[in-house]
Amino acid sequence: MSARPVIRLSARHKTVLGATLALLWTSGVLWLAFHYLLAQPGDFGPRPHALEAVWLKLHGAAALLALFVLGTLLPIHMTLAWQRNKNRRQGVLLGALFLWLTASGYALWYFASDDNAAWLPAIHWVAGLALPAALAAHVAAGRRRAAGRTRHAVYNAASPDVSRSLPR
């Protein structure tokens, strides 16, 4: 009997994904802080902090990298999980959040105007701030399922006759 491909990410894949998403989230939070909390007073109202543009450029670059890295999840991680009906609910919610952030980020880049300045940035950064919680929920749900399989695998190894009858 051949081993089934695993859904779990490799250590290197987790590291690259985690570092990319951390850079993306941190640059976004720093932009928010510098834009809303550290604006400089000027003659004609608040003017942007000098580092605000740096954080926004880094956030844009990190977003492009994140799209690439997230795309590497599709061929194995997402496809196998979907086929095996594993962690679908959390995966769909996380995927929808990433799609929302991509679409709203695109809209901010190409369609931002005075008419939508009151709501368009907010729908992007509120979703972005929620990203770590959504990712943690997805990982925790996957780990709970994996912990359940490990317990059963130990039990099944102790009684081989039972293990043959259980679905994999």
Q: Are residues 72 and 91 in the same domain?
A: no
**84 contact partners, CB below 8 Å, separation of at least 6:** 7
Arithmetic mean of pLDDT, 45-73? 95
* Count: domains in the chain: 2
Arithmetic mean of pLDDT, 45-68? 95
pTM: 0.81
In-domain check, residue 81: no
Confidence of residue 149 (pLDDT cuts 50, 70, 90): low
Residues in a beta bridge with 47: 40
Q: For residue range 89-146, what is the model confidence (pLDDT) as tens digits?
A: 999 999 999 999 999 999 999 999 999 999 999 999 999 999 999 999 999 998 887 7
Range of the domain at 123: 87-168
